[in-house]
Chain A
C-alpha cells in the first residue's frame, strides 16, 4: 500500500514539475507552433498531476504546493532546468517513453491511469515526430546520452530493461528519486509563490 501511494505521488510530482518546466518555454520557443504545443502539453500534464493528487488527498492544492522541497518525489529528470532546445526535446522524448512504460503498468488497476494514457497519445506522437527527425543529429544524440541516467530514474528498477530496449541504450546507473537538482529550490519557490502570497484560508 505504501509503495502504491509513493508510486502515485511520484507520478503526480513528475507531471507537475515537468508541466512547470515545459511551460517555461511559453513565448520563447524556437517555433511559434512549438510554443503552442508545449503550452498544450504542459496544461495536460498539470491536469494529470491534479487528477492523481486528488486520489491521494482531499486537498490537492495543499498536497501539490505546501510540502517543503525535500518532500517531493519527482525524478531528477523533470527538475533539470534545460536552456537549449536539443536537451529540451531530448528530455521530452525520454520522459514520454518512460512515462508510457509506467502508465501502462498502472492502467488496468487505475481508471485515472487509463484516462491519462489516452491523453498522452498526443504527447507521444509529438515526441516521436521530433525523435524521428533528430535521431541522427549529433547534438540530439549527445543530449539523449547525457540525460539517459536521469531517464532511468523515472521508472521502477524492474521497468528499466524495457526502457533500455525502447531507447536503444544500455542500462547504466540511474539518478534516483530523492536527489534534488540545484535548480529545484528556485523552481519550488516560484511555483508556490502565488499560493504563499494569499492569506491562510483564502478562497480563489
Chain B
C-alpha cells in the first residue's frame, strides 16, 4: 500500500508533505520512512498516512461568480479616494 509522508523539520513548524512510500504495513512504513526522511536528522517528526485514508477535495463550483466572497471581489480603491477627498475638503 501507498503511504503519504509528512515531515516536520523543526519543533513547532507545520507538517509538510514530503513524498510517499510503498510498504505492506505500518511497521515497514515506519522503518522505511525513518530511513528515507529522517536518516540525516532532517526531520523532528513524521506523519505516515495510508493514501486511502486521505479524503481529497479538489473542485469548487463557480457558476454565478460570487466575487463578493473573495478578497479581490470588491474594488474599493476608487471609493476610498473619493472618501479621502470629501474628508479633506470638509470644514473642521
Contact = CB atoms under 8 A, between A and B. Distances in A.
B27 interface: yes
Interface in A81-109: none
Interface residues of A, number: 12
Determine which residue in B24, B32, B39 has the highest number of CB atoms from chain A within 10 A of its CB, and name it: B32
A59 to B, nearest CB: 30
A141 interface: no
B39 A33 contact: no
Query: What's the dominant secondary structure at chain B's contact region?
Result: helix
Contacts of B32: 33-34, 36-37
B36 A36 contact: yes
B35 A129 contact: no
A83 B24 CA distance: 24
Contact of B36 (A33, A122, A129): A33
Given A33-B21, A122-B34, A40 B39 contact: yes
Determine which residue in A37, A125, A128, A133 has the highest number of CB atoms from chain B within 10 A of its CB, and name it: A37
Interface in A119-144: 122, 125-126, 128-129, 132-133
20 contacts: A33-B23, A33-B31, A33-B32, A33-B35, A34-B32, A36-B36, A37-B32, A37-B35, A40-B35, A40-B39, A122-B34, A125-B27, A125-B30, A125-B31, A126-B31, A128-B27, A129-B31, A133-B24, A133-B25, A133-B28
Interface of A: 33-34, 36-37, 40, 122, 125-126, 128-129, 132-133
Given A36-B32, A37-B31, 10 more contacts: A33-B36, A34-B32, A36-B35, A37-B32, A40-B39, A125-B30, A125-B31, A129-B27, A132-B27, A133-B28
Interface of B: 21, 23-25, 27-28, 30-32, 34-36, 39
